[in-house]
Structure 1
Amino acid sequence: MRWLSPQPSESVLVSYQWIDQPNQLQSLVEQIQSCTRLAVDTEFVRTNTYYSRPGLIQIADRQQVFLVDPTVFSTQQLQPLGDILFAPDMQLLMHSAGEDLDVFLGLWKRLPSNLFDTQIAASLVGFDRQMGLQRLLMDIIGVELSKEETRSDWLQRPLTARQLHYAEADVKYLHQVADILQQKLQQTGRESWFAEECQQLVAKYQHKTPDEWLYLGFGSGWKLKPALQGALRHLASWREQTARQHNIPKTFIAKDANLYALVEKQPSSKALLSELGFQGSQIRRYGDQLLQQLHIGLQAGEPPLPIPRPLSKSQQKDYKALRDVVASCAETLGLPADLLASKAQLVNYLKARMAGTLTTDSPFAGGWRETALQPSLDAFVLPSNNNNKDELDHD
């Protein structure tokens, strides 16, 4: 799909202002405080830390681009800027905002009140779900955007001319693109769908999975006995807290496979950890703690919820049939199938339907997906033709 904007490209901003002095930051705040819509992006590095390390904040109104250097300002100095960005009447235009929301939480511990994510908007009006900004700009307004600097070092100073040009381009076209996408959303009657999706994205980062529930994400953990799942629950929570406390990636402490093997094999000494796939640096720094936390975890008992089992063979047939129904519905609506229903949502729907708990556990209850999918779901007949709760168990 390719659209070309009716607006002349000459109207798009062509310059930026570098902000690295307190008086410049104050002037920026004064200039944008009356705005109700700003384009925003961030550049950051997250290679050996738990938290993202912000290297640049890009902001654009309809007249100018501002590149703010967050490395030279304190949290207190940046607070007035945050007050504007996260004001109730401010709409932030962003593209694929997820990781940027993490940066916001690190800098301000706040998130947008009104997010307009152009990637989400594009997916609701006929584009791919994971449409990159480069392709979107080319298809909508015919602008070619270089992505060569995506993984460059944004903490180095000075930034290169290419980095600055790349950073500027990431926001200077967003007003134009958002205007076009908003018009398409209005024409298709999907404005409420879009608002719901943006709200859900913000909520995902506002309410992250609590540490004590992280164990449920261990795909093979269902094979462990209940008491061992309790130990895995404790270790996963401890690892997350330790990584956060020391600001290091959790994989520096142990990978998921390492924790699983630790619980399964229960080594008696630190010397045996290498046999479970632990690296020398992990053993030296965390070996004693890992064994200590394993011992504590083994005393924890069964967890509140068991780790979900994968689908049985008969359930997999039902899943594939359900997936085909959703794909057909998505094609009719002109939507990406994985936007209409993710794999996790389909699995949860299938299990709830077989267990007879759709009234309380349906992942599509409420919101635009229920409206879009319900007629197809009501007509869907399980190939196994078995709604018995026993179907949840493996054959």
Structure 2
Amino acid sequence: MMQWIEGEAPLREALAGITDHYTLDTEFMRERTFWPQLALVQIGIPAAVEGEPPLVLLVDPLQSGVHETLRSLFERDDLLAVVHSPSEDWVALRENIGAIPRHTFDTQQAAAMLGMGGGMSYLKLIETTLGVALEKGEQRSDWLRRPLTDSQKIYAAADVSYLLDAYAVLAPQLAAKGYTDWFAEDMAYALEQARADRLETWPHLSLRGSGLLNIPQQQVLHRLLTWREQRARQNNLPRTWVLANDAALELARAQPQSEADLRRVLEKMPKAPLKIAGILQSVVSKPLPDEADLPDARLYEQRDKQRLKDLQVAVKQVSDAHGFSDSFLASRRWIESWMDTGEWLGLLAGWRRSVLEPVFTGAATPVAGSDS
């Protein structure tokens, strides 16, 4: 059953039926903004009678009182939210509602841990776990328009109604393999990261082409990208609308010494932001306090490639032994992070360290096993 919710009172009444877990998804628009514009919140509530279909709430977050009610739901410590690949949903909910759920079960991560495939789409997950083929339908629809069409509502409801059955398939399989605690640790880490909204410390490292710049050029790029992030957030604009990647790289290469020099660089580029040339020159010429610690992007592109390959092979062997999907245990980015620092940071600091440390340090050969 599907129910359209437009206000606080009907939402509170409907949410009273949640006793243990619920499914959650959102629809949002982000093409012209930095922060996603929340347009719809879908909640699936298990039926009180076994065998009955779930109740699906299509909640209009544009209505008054709805945000406070949803925030109360998300802040309950006794409920589990079942979701699928929710990183973008967390941003939308955090910035629009002011809260994200305390406990979650990500079906995409569960499928990867169980070896079904990494980065599995929702459609593929439902087909794999339940044998149901869903239509792509309204993926690129305008979710901010009102009223929504029947087709939009049906599509949105499907995003949460089938998740309940998928959860019922995946959770017991994780428990049978002894992975429940490891999975819970991953979920807690993901939620911590989503709540923190930490800025990237060294944005130049993730920009293709930075490894071709010398240190003074990388410092200029670091200044530009740091400023761009701040301006995009403050003005709620996409990063590349503030300053395109290629423009940032060209300015970093040129290291303009005056506004006239900077303008000459920008004039060679289509749609260059000439109106803010003075601001950009100020950014380019002003060192940041952390530049002394700036990591050299050239070194990051000149890693010991054989060592990286050997570690990737070792991770693959451990993953196969545990039945994980490729890159679930440690992506190339996380392996490179360990190579660069020698430290067990972020996602590698928890249960993964106990699994990977013996093979990363060459002290042991990967063997099959579980967390039990």
Q: TM-score range by the shorter chain?
A: 0.7 to 0.9
Output aligned runs, 1:260-279, within 5 Å: 260-267=249-256, 268=258, 269=260, 271-275=263-267, 277=269, 279=271
The code of the aligned residue for 1:371 comes to S
Quote the residue 1:200 is aligned against. Answer: 189
Residue 351 of structure 2 corresponds to residue 368 of structure 1 = yes
In 1: Cα distance, 2:358 partner to 2:8 partner:
57
Go from structure 1 to structure 2 and tell me whether the alpha carbon gap of 1:300 and 1:266 turns closer, same or farther (over 3 Å shift).
farther
3-state SS of 2:143 partner: coil
TM-score (normalised: structure 1): 0.82
More helix by share: 1
Go from structure 1 to structure 2 and tell me whether the alpha carbon gap of 1:212 and 1:329 turns closer, same or farther (over 3 Å shift).
closer
Quote the residue 1:27 is aligned against. Answer: 13
Q: Pick from 357, 360, 370 the counterpart of residue 377 of structure 1.
A: 360
Output aligned runs, 1:20-99, within 5 Å: 20-29=6-15, 31-32=16-17, 35-63=19-47, 64-71=55-62, 73-74=63-64, 77-99=66-88
Quote the residue 1:292 is aligned against. Answer: 282
Residues 73-103 of structure 1 deviation map (CA, whole Å, 9 limit, x = unaligned): 24x5421221112222221110111110011
Is 2:344–2:353's contact at 8 Å kept on the other side of the alignment? no
In 2: Cα distance, 1:217 partner to 1:277 partner:
22
In 2: Cα distance, 1:276 partner to 1:205 partner:
39
Residue 131 of structure 2 corresponds to residue 142 of structure 1 = yes
In 1: Cα distance, 2:173 partner to 2:13 partner:
35
Output aligned runs, 1:208-287, within 5 Å: 208-210=197-199, 213-267=202-256, 268=258, 269=260, 271-275=263-267, 277=269, 279-280=271-272, 282-284=273-275, 286-287=276-277
TM-score (normalised: structure 2): 0.86
**Cα offset, 1:243, TM superposition:** 0.9
Go from structure 1 to structure 2 and tell me whether the alpha carbon gap of 1:329 and 1:77 turns closer, same or farther (over 3 Å shift).
closer
Give percent identity, aligned residues only.
Answer: 29
In 2: Cα distance, 1:365 partner to 1:66 partner:
37
3-state SS of 1:338 partner: coil
Residues 37-82 of structure 1 deviation map (CA, whole Å, 9 limit, x = unaligned): 11110011110100101111001111311000112x24x5421221
Residue 148 of structure 2 corresponds to residue 156 of structure 1 = no
3-state SS of 2:82 partner: strand
Bigger shift: residues 106-115 or 39-48: 106-115
Matched length: 353
In 1: Cα distance, 2:290 partner to 2:147 partner:
54
Consecutive unaligned residues in structure 1, runs of 5 or more: 1-14, 353-357, 382-395
Quote the residue 1:310 is aligned against. Answer: 300
Consecutive unaligned residues in structure 2, runs of 5 or more: 48-54, 365-372
Q: Alignment RMSD, CA only?
A: 2.5
3-state SS of 1:379 partner: coil
In 1: Cα distance, 2:340 partner to 2:200 partner:
25
In 2: Cα distance, 1:116 partner to 1:290 partner:
44
**Cα offset, 1:134, TM superposition:** 1.0
Residues 145-173 of structure 1 deviation map (CA, whole Å, 9 limit, x = unaligned): 11121121111222122111110011012
Quote the residue 2:368 is aligned against. Answer: none
